[in-house]
Structure 1
């Protein structure tokens, strides 16, 4: 990839990525406070300021590497929102709603970017129409990937938290022990491309939904 194409990709993806990670983490923080844990709120993480949620490796370095590598899909993460599950009013039950808040935010953003894309499909051609369509397409893609990625049932991903909340206590403790190694497992799955094959069928379902919505704008 030449430098001009790389810079163009950064310009297209930067805003959708920042929106995706910021609202995802802010949703976790809001849900945690709603269910009784103010930790994230008190630490200033219940905010739409993206700087508060940026992880240098997961939010900057890894996505840039993905844009550089041919054939890879955009991958990354934000700084996790601190949640003291013991402070939740019903820790085992409320944990799943706090975990699901982030992917739910990505689902809503995916739908909003789809509507924006639909409106732009018939916009008059001009200096901004094409790059804005590309940005909307990037917004759809990023939020689908981030939502599905986070729902994989490996701690500390949101899907892992949901799994722990649904399992009996003893089984939940066994799954929770995976958490220190969860990101290593995820990176291995990514670089061996196994992660893509796990996510691809679910991504296909949501792309089908997006295409059906876009038909309404035809």
Structure 2
């Protein structure tokens, strides 16, 4: 048990909650990409069976393992052929953006449900019982994880959604120049997520930001509905 505690990035006792939250967050994120790509005329993801809320279709084993032991990870990326879009740049931006936006929405919905349970007295604010403690832990994990994934995926480095958004927002001439350095950008991304020294100034602040955002959103709902 001590070995697992040292190996995992998250507390061992919270592992089931993280796995459930990841299953929902990653599935909805990738489904959103696939759904809108298909909606805009690109059937690539649909033909591969990716327009689904079945978690098994979207999970990447290595990505999940790394997230659990290193604090970052990924699901199976949804293949998109922008040439099938009637407006490639505009629709590519939307398809890329809906992933992080889906996590933002999940975090907000999670905070709303948590606030309603808290205000209505369904769960004990102190969390004395094991059920109350489990609910408190799950919603805290679920909300913070989704806000983190939203912020993390907006980093403008490949292969993240933020890069695809910037790539299509910039004028074609500048975008083409950036694409020449894409392989180096991927290297920078890998260094950021692998080296503890760089994680301290990149990944760690995102977790802090996600935590602050979750507290602020939850307080807003408690204030609104708590009278």
- Shorter-chain TM range is 0.7 to 0.9
Secondary structure of residue in 1 paired with 2:83: helix
Structure 2 residue ranges without an equivalent (≥5)? none
The aligned runs of 1:28-43 (5 Å cut-off) are 28-43=33-48
Q: How far apart, CA to CA, are the structure 2 residues paired with 1:149 and 1:100?
A: 12
Corresponding residue for residue 64 of structure 1: 68
Deviations 1:3-43 (A, max 9, x none): 58954221121111110000000000001011110110110
Distance in 2 (CA, whole Å) between partners of 1:177 and 1:202 is: 32
Q: Which residue of 1 aligns with 2:219?
A: 211
Greater gyration radius: 2
SS in 2 for 1:155: coil
The one-character-per-residue Cα deviations of 1:114-151 (angstroms, maximum 9, x if unpaired) are: 02221333314533121111101101111111001111
Aligned residues: 210
TM-score (norm 2): 0.82
Could you tell me how far apart the structure 2 residues matched to 1:13 and 1:197 are? 17
Looking at structure 1, the residues matched to 154 and 37 of structure 2 have their Cα atoms a distance apart, in angstroms, of 18
Q: Distance in 2 between matches of 1:88 and 1:143?
A: 29
Q: 1:150 matched to which residue of 2?
A: 153
| Structure-1 separation of matches of 2:207 and 2:17 | 23
CA-based RMSD: 2.3
Q: In 2, distance between residues paired with 1:173 and 1:198?
A: 31
Aligned to 2:15: 10
1:97 paired with 2:94, answer yes
**What's the CA shift string for 1:57-111, capped at 9, x where partnerless?**
212x112213xxxxxxx32211100000111111111100000111111111001
List gaps (5 residues or longer) in structure 1. 67-73
Residue number in structure 2 paired with 1:174: 177
Q: TM-score, normalised by structure 1?
A: 0.86
Deviates more, 1:166-175 or 1:119-128: 119-128
Change (3 A) 1:21 1:178: farther
> Aligned match of 1:195 in 185, 189, 202?
202
Residues 44, 81 of structure 2: 8 Å contact kept:
yes
